[in-house]
Each structure stands twice: as C-alpha cells, then as structure tokens.
Amino acid sequence: MENFFKGGKTTLILFLIFVFLSFSNKTLSQNSSSNDTTLTLSQCIDYALKHQPSLQQSLINIDITKTTNKINLSGWLPQAYLTGTLTHYLELPTVFIKNSSGQTVEQKSGVVNTAVPVLSVSQTIFNPSLLFASRSANLYVKQAEQVTDSTKIFLVSAVSKAFYSLLLTLEQINVFKEDTARLNKNLSDTYHQYVAGTVDETDYDEAAISLNNSKAQLKQATENIVPQYAILKQVMGFAPERQFNVSFDTLQMMNDIAFDTTRQLQYDNRIEFQQLQTTKRLQQEVTAYYRSAFLPTVSAVFNYTPEFQNNSFPSLFSSVYPSSYIGLSVSIPLFTGFARLENVHKSQLEERVLYWGEVDLKSQIYTDYTTSLANYKSNLYNYEIMKDNEDKAKKVYGIVSLQYAQGVVAYLNVITAESNLITSEIGYVNALFQLLSSKIDLEKSMGYISYNR
C-alpha cells in the first residue's frame, strides 16, 4: 500500500506538471491561434513608417509648411480689391464761395444719394519681406523634412529595440521550458531512486524545489509577453485590439551582430547636426532681411472709380461719373526708432547662440558615440563569453547527470550543474539581445540608421 501511495503521488505530480506546461503553451500560443499575421523586424519597421501617428503628423507638417510658403509668397502676385460706399445725406454739406460781387456766401453742395464702388489693383515690384519669404521657403521645407527624418530614425531604433526585447522574452521562455522539462525528468528519476532507496528524501525535495523555481520563472516570463507586445504595437502604431506574431531569422540575427568599429565618426551624418545647420542658415537669412529692411517697398497701382450720384434714390444708378488712375506706390522707412539696427543686432546674437549650440552638440554627439561604442564592444565580449559558458555548462550538466545516474556524485552536484546551465543559457540570451540593442545605439550615434525617405 505504501508503494502504491508513493506511486500515486508521483503520478499526481507528473500530471500537475503536464497541466502547467500545457497551460503555459496555451498562453504562449494565444496570439497565434487568434490570427495568422506574422511579422519580421523589417516588416514591423515598414509598418511603423506607414502607420505611426507621430510620423504621420510630421508628414502632414511638411504639407503645412509648403502651404504656408505659398501663402507668404502670394504677395508677388497681383492683388485686386473691390470696395464701395453708399451714402444718403440727411442734410447736404455746406460750402462757402464768393459771389460775383466778391462777398462770401454759404451754399449747399453735392447730391443726396451717392454710390462709389472702387476697383484697386496693385502689383508688388520689390518688397524686402517678400524677398525674405522667397529665400527662406526652401529652408523651411527642408527643416520640416528633417524633423520627419528624425522621427523615422527614432521609430527604426524604437521598433528594433522593442522587437528585440520581445524576442528576448520569448527566448527566455524557451529556456525556462527546457529547464522545466529537465527538472521534471530529474524529479521523476530522483523519486524512483528515492523509492529504491539509493537516495534520501532530501534529494527528492531539492529536485522539487528546483522544479518549482523554474516553473515560477516560466510563469513570470509568460506573463511578460502581453506587455511586451503592447510596447511593440505602440511604437509601430499597430491597433491594440489586433494581434500578430513575430518571426526572425536566427542566421540573419547572427549576421546583424557584426559592426565595423574602425569607422570614423562623421558629425554631418547625425540628423541633429543637419537640423542645426538648417537653423543656422535660416537665422542668417533673418539677419540679411533686417539689414535690407531700409530698402523701399515699390508697387504698381491701378484704381478705377465709377461714381454714381443722384438726388432721387430710384434713379441713383442712371448716371455715372467715372475716374481712374495708374501710378507707383513707394514706401521708404526713413526712421523706425532704431528698430532695424536693434533687430540686426538681436539676429546676430542669435547666430552666436547657434554657434555655441553647435559646439555643445558636437560634444554631445562625441560622448554619445564613445559611450555607444564602449557598450557595443563590452557587450560583444560578454556575448562571446556567455556563448562559451553555455557550451561548457551544457557539457558539464550532461557529464554530472550521467555520473549521478551511476551513483558517482551526489545530487547537489546535479543541482549546481543545473543552476549553472540555466544561468549560462539566460546569460547568453540576455547577452545576445543586449548586443543587438547596443548595435542599434551605436548606429544611431554615428548616423547610420537607415530608413525609407
């Protein structure tokens, strides 16, 4: 009866482990069972470049900038205005005139009803403000496009890191599943050895503890899948209610690890540096505008006025008295309270601010580059060490397991070998994805992130 009870206990434990593993597999395959969409890293990036809200906003801002330029440049085209007045005198104005005898007498002047429509047309010949708008239009468009490029670079980096973070969790789950399966077998073998009297009860308890710890780690990693997918969806602009799976090529991932660390840093490759250069050019145009603000504004004008007058309102438009003229309109700012000179001075000071901003930006870029390069090199070394540790841990675990089965070593050696193996496997997986993430940072710091324009 005692053996039967112990055998039934083993069966119950194995059954519970099977149920747990089945639940874990069900949780992991939850997404795949509800959809057929599978995306690679490249496809996730392409999707983000088409659907991410912040990128779409920046693309719209380019169109807004172009439209704003058209509005600012519309002043070069002819400007036509139609105005008019309709007047009914309750009492006609009084004028004073001299009669034939030389005496000054008062007299009512004008007619009761007057309608005066006026057509005015002007054509700008020269205007400093319009000249500035013409010279800066392309720079404003370039500035908006660089903001979009910066957003794309951020998206490529963010999507790649979120993708790798998700893969890291998935790989950790695979490692914990393998570990749980090994510990499950160890528990079963240890129990049979315990029943046979070859090991004591503590070995069986140690095996159960190791299995419980592995199951807890597997559960924790499994629960992390949902938030990891949520983060990736957010940076992609993917609808939260939709589901997809991720796919990756292990060989391609290994190839992606390599990076030529002998490349020299080129500041011009960084989008932040390019944006600053555009801002400097715009500020130079502002300075040039204020320097030319003393120039006159010259326009050609045409005015046509068909004036209607009559004392009888119903007959107001029966007679017309037209007048028209053409000419030039010139406006010269003779004195503006030194505003022009102060604006020039202010703009020059802002140029100096941008100069020192460039000095500071170069320092930041260099610091970013050296930090990213150091992280990449250290992570590469760590990856190689972790890979070697994993290979050796697998070899040691196999030997120790065989020795334990033959009764050569104690179960404590198996626990130690198993602990080293799971630590090495998790360490290798972490090192791999830390290396891939640090490569993204290095490429970004050197301005090598590629994206679709």
DSSP letter at 270? Answer: S
Amino acid at position 303, single letter: N
Confidence band, pLDDT 50/70/90 cuts, at residue 187: confident
Cβ atoms within 10 Å, residue 446: 21
CA contacts within 13 A on the Cβ side of 149: 19
What is the DSSP pairing of strand 245-246 with strand 38-39? parallel
The mean per-residue pLDDT over the stretch 405-421 comes to 83
**CA geometry: angle at 151 spanning 280 and 248, to 5°?**
145
Q: Where is pLDDT greater, at 407 or 156? A: 156
Q: Would you say residue 299 has pLDDT above 60?
A: yes
Confidence band, pLDDT 50/70/90 cuts, at residue 4: very low
Which of 412, 420, 349, 410 lies closest to 389, judged by CA? Answer: 420
- The mean-pLDDT minimum among 122-136, 172-186, 435-449 falls in 172-186
What global pTM score does this model have?
0.81
Phi-psi region of 264 (alpha: psi -120 to 50; beta: other; left: phi over 0): beta
Q: How many residues does the chain have?
A: 453
Q: Would you say residue 20 has pLDDT above 70?
A: no
* Burial zone of 203 (CB within 10 Å; 0-12 exposed, 13-18 middle, 19+ buried): buried
Q: Which helix (H) or strand (E) holds 391?
A: helix 339-405
pLDDT of residue 34: 45
What is the DSSP pairing of strand 79-88 with strand 94-98? unpaired
Which of 78, 73, 88, 92 lies closest to 133, judged by CA? Answer: 73
pLDDT of residue 11: 41
Confidence band, pLDDT 50/70/90 cuts, at residue 183: confident
- pLDDT tens per residue, range 232-271: 999 999 999 999 999 888 777 888 888 999 999 999 999 9
- Cα–Cα distance between 160 and 167 in angstroms, integer? 10
Which of 138, 141, 118, 133 lies closest to 76, judged by CA? Answer: 133
Q: Would you say residue 361 has pLDDT above 70?
A: yes
Looking at domain 78-125+297-331, does it have CATH number 2.60.120? Answer: no
> Which two three-digit tokens encode residue 99?
């009669």
- Cα–Cα distance between 306 and 319 in angstroms, integer? 10
Structure-token match 């920046």, residue found = 58
Contact indicator for 326, 343 with CB cutoff of 8 Å: no
Q: In this prediction, what percent of the chain has a pLDDT beyond 70?
A: 90
CATH for the 2-77+127-294+336-446 domain, from 3.90.1640.30, 3.40.50.1000, 3.30.390.50, 1.20.1600.10? 1.20.1600.10
pLDDT of residue 36: 56
Confidence band, pLDDT 50/70/90 cuts, at residue 199: low
pLDDT of residue 89: 92
Q: Would you say residue 1 has pLDDT above 60?
A: no
Contact indicator for 80, 120 with CB cutoff of 8 Å: yes
Q: In this prediction, what percent of the chain has a pLDDT beyond 90?
A: 64
Q: Where are the domains of the chain?
A: 2-77+127-294+336-446, 78-125+297-331
Q: Say which residues have a Cβ less than 8 Å from residue 163's Cβ, sequence separation at least 6.
A: 41, 44, 232, 246
Provide the mean pLDDT of the chain: 87
pLDDT of residue 266: 95
pLDDT of residue 37: 86
**CA geometry: angle at 230 spanning 226 and 148, to 5°?**
160
- Cα–Cα distance between 427 and 386 in angstroms, integer? 6
Structure-token match 């290396």, residue found = 435
- Cα–Cα distance between 229 and 436 in angstroms, integer? 19
